Amino acid sequence: MARVQNPPTTTLGYALFATRWLQAPLYFGLVAAQGVYVYKFFKELWTLILMCVGGHATETYVMLAVLKLVDVVMIANLLIMVIVGGYETFVSRIGLQGHRDQPEWLSHVNSNVLKVKLATAIVGISSVHLLQMFVDVHHTSQHALLWGTVIHMAFIFSAAILAYMSGPMAAHGDRAHAARPPVERPRTEHTPEPRPEAVTDAPAVPRQPDPDGEAEARIRAAGFPARKLLEDFDERHPRGFDRETVARLGKAEFVAARRNVVFVGPPGTGKTHLAVALGVRACQAGHRVLFATAAEWAARLTDARAAGRLDAELAALDEHPLLIVDEVGYTPFDPDTAGLFFQLVAHRYERASLIVTSDRPLGRWNEVFGASAPALTDRLAHHAEVVRLDGESYRTRRASAAWAD
């Protein structure tokens, strides 16, 4: 197939797009400002301590000083929000997905979300200021008090309007996305020609142009260990490979249907490859995807439970219509962790999709999940496509072929 030449406008567009890096130093400047606030905080704190120790601190003074500290912290929070959120939105992805400290809002950050977050943070700061005035009402002029209140109301009003508008705007974005006509994506240097033997007969996901890089952003956010495509999968390799099923799954319709996929087979037969490839297709079809190994999911859920927010974590994961759990079976789980996996599977049952890969058949999952296994596999497999892969490892086959040459 002939390569498509990039028209010059695209190059120009890329050059313009690259100028976003000019913003990067600004964010580091804000980091320096953050440092100034840290300094200010400790200076205020030190003064407060000295006053208390010296016995000069009245109750009102302490309250005002503490409010001032809260104020400084809130402004510091605002700064972090602008630094991290702004950098992620306007400069480059930071790749925090799956990080245990990833702020809840960052996974769905866009300029709308950021605006609303900023507006609410500003309302918070102005509340503290107003409170300071009220506490110190004897030293505050009526004029200042009046204007403080009016300005605070204006902040609340604008935050409410922004929040109200961000709803319809997000919905409009989704609709516009869904309404885009399917167009065959031109192949460029970045999209390799399909190999003749590859699983490509699925016209795949209706190929959409990705001018905003949304699909690309979803792929990057998914945390895939490597980019594996269905087009690169050599279907002659696994023994008795179910080509039709995998090609059908490649249309990513199972995600909208909230069905699951389980890949079972010995090491090196391409389970992770296929799981990632279906994940990429799901991203291209407009779904958000999250990839992690079973051990990583175990750690994440254990942390959430320890922090008393397991339900919140499960609910937050609903924002990803597809989760991939790779390598179930390499390590057996204790009953507590097995229970967490059961909760994950039960929570997503008929609600959202899972792709699971394992080196052992479902009938042997009691070796991994113990007593939770029957209930877990029952829910997982009820609406699932189980794809069995068999044969020798692709890795060793490649190695022995190289030796033979």
Instruction: Look up residue 62 and give its amino acid.
Output: V
* Nearer to Mg ion (CB atom), residue 68 or residue 273: 273
Interface mask (CB under 5 A) for Mg ion, residues 216-255, using x and -?
Answer: ----------------------------------------
Residue selected from 260, 272, 284, 372 as contacting Mg ion according to rule CB under 5 A: 272
Contact between 97 and 107 under an 8 Å Cβ cutoff? The reply is yes
Contact between 331 and 295 under an 8 Å Cβ cutoff? The reply is yes
Nearest-angstrom CA–CA distance, 275 and 322: 11
Q: Which does 100 bind (CB under 5 to 8 A by kind): Mg ion, ligand ADP, none?
A: none
Nearest-angstrom CA–CA distance, 386 and 234: 19
Site residues (vs ligand ADP, CB under 6 A): 228, 232-234, 237-238, 265, 267-273, 357, 394-395
269 binds Mg ion (CB under 5 A): no
293 binds Mg ion (CB under 5 A): no
Nearest-angstrom CA–CA distance, 138 and 132: 11
* Nearer to ligand ADP (CB atom), residue 82 or residue 328: 328
The 10 Å CB-count burial string (b at 16+, else e) for 89-103 is beeeeeebbbeeeee
* Nearer to ligand ADP (CB atom), residue 186 or residue 391: 391
Residue 258 region by backbone torsions, left for phi larger than 0, else alpha for psi between -120 and 50, else beta: left
Minimum Å gap between C-beta 327 and ligand ADP is 7
Q: Which does 228 bind (CB under 5 to 8 A by kind): ligand ADP, Mg ion, none?
A: ligand ADP
* Nearer to ligand ADP (CB atom), residue 232 or residue 385: 232
Minimum Å gap between C-beta 276 and ligand ADP is 8
* Nearer to Mg ion (CB atom), residue 121 or residue 249: 249
> Read out DSSP for 201-234?
-S--S-----TT-HHHHHHHHTT-SS---GGG-B
Which residues are at the interface with Mg ion (CB under 5 A)? Answer: 272
